[in-house]
Amino acid sequence: MNTPFRLDDHPRRPHPLSAPPAGYFEQLPRRVMARVQPAEDAAPALGWLTRLPLPLRTALASTLLLGGFAASLILSVTPTSASATLAAVPQEELVQYLLANDARVTLADLADLSAAAPTTASYLHASPEELQRALDAQPTDDSYL
């Protein structure tokens, strides 16, 4: 349990604090303001911008923002699209990638491919017998039957 604190039990200092120097409180506001205000020679390089009226500064800022956005949009657009880039890849490399990657191409993938870009699936001409043999060679899981 805490002991009660009584201020009367603690005597004051025997000597009072020294008095402030003469005129200290009269000089204090000027000394504080001298420290707070920036020096005149440290003006920013864009001082002319602060002298412009507020509507003109706002218009300049919005123009710079829209110009930057338009420039980044123009510079980021590539002349070739993704489908043109994919069409530039040889078909043999695509087949080798699919075979080496153990990626199973399902009939749904082929159907989406032929519906999206019929020219890219033109090399997939298979007879019904070849398709049946390929389907029979696929492993089946009895849990789905």
- Residues 96-112 have pLDDT tens digits of 777 776 667 666 766 66
Over 80: is that where the pLDDT of 44 sits?
Answer: no
H or E segment to which residue 119 belongs = none
Domain-by-domain residue ranges, the chain? Answer: 90-124
DSSP assignment string, 44-102: -TTHHHHTS-HHHHHHHHHHHHHHHHHHHHHHH--SS-HHHHHHTS-HHHHHHHHHHTT
Contact 133, 126 (CB under 8 A): no
- Ramachandran bin of 102, using left for φ above 0, alpha for ψ from -120 to 50, beta for the remaining angles: left
Please tell me the pTM assigned to this model.
0.30
**Banded pLDDT at 19 (limits 50, 70, 90):** confident
Contact 70, 77 (CB under 8 A): no
Q: Pick from 92, 79, 82: which is nearest to 117 by CA?
A: 82
Residues in the chain: 145
First CA to last CA distance, the chain: 77
pLDDT, position 53: 92
